[in-house]
Amino acid sequence: MLIRSMKRDGFKTEPAFAALLGLQGDPYEELLRMYSWSDEQLRRFIDKTK
């Protein structure tokens, strides 16, 4: 699902990204936690979600 279509369906931005990435728990806290990750950590996470 694309973020834009999710937002059209009523999702707010952070919950839409969290759903797309398969994050569990509070979407705001989970995305904030990921903010401090290194590029390598983000790459590994994204590779696992493919």
List all residues 6 or more positions away from 24 whose beta carbon is below 8 Å from its beta carbon.
30
Cα 41-1-45 angle, rounded to 5 deg: 10
The pLDDT tens digits of the residues spanning 10-42 come to: 999 999 999 989 999 999 999 999 999 999 999
What integer pLDDT is reported at residue 50 of this predicted model?
Answer: 72
For residue 45, is pLDDT > 80? yes
Annotate 10-31 with DSSP letters as a single string.
Answer: T--HHHHHHHHHT--S-HHHHH
What's this model's pTM, rounded to 2 decimal places? 0.76
Predicted confidence band of residue 3 (pLDDT cuts 50, 70, 90): very high
> How confident is the model at residue 1, as a pLDDT?
60
